[in-house]
Amino acid sequence: MTPLEWIALHFDRVSPWIQAALDREPVKTHTLEHVRAYLDDGKCQLWPTANSVTITEIIEYPTGAKVMHHWLAGGDLDEIVQTNANLETFAREHGCVGVEIKARRGWLPVMKDNGFRPVGTHFWKDL
């Protein structure tokens, strides 16, 4: 199955979880249509499970360091966490040196339990 076939097979089913994740963002930077276009263009990856979805992207920084960035996730938390092993394998296969996640503070216990450590902080001010 091609990536586009995979996306077509799963996107409509998981789109409510993607939309919910977009709705929780403090700044509305993307719509569901943007996410679909990014997936169709190969700019990000779709990781559906029976009751959840994760959207990732591989970012290459100016130094050449590549990281997998967890961009959006929604649905069943246990299923989201269970996909980490597959995501990490994919990231290694694509030359990534790490995985980064920007998430709400409520994710901290779950992330620590799964081998992530907090690095710095992320602040926002509305203008």
Q: Which CATH topology does 3-113 take? A: Aminopeptidase (3.40.630)
Instruction: Say which range, 25-29, 45-49, 68-72, 86-90, has the weakest mean pLDDT.
Output: 25-29
pLDDT in tens, 59-118: 999 999 999 998 999 999 899 989 988 999 999 999 999 998 877 677 777 777 777 777
pTM tops 0.75, yes or no: yes
pLDDT at 115: 76
Q: What is the spatial distance between Cα 101 and Cα 74, in angstroms, rounded to a whole number?
A: 14
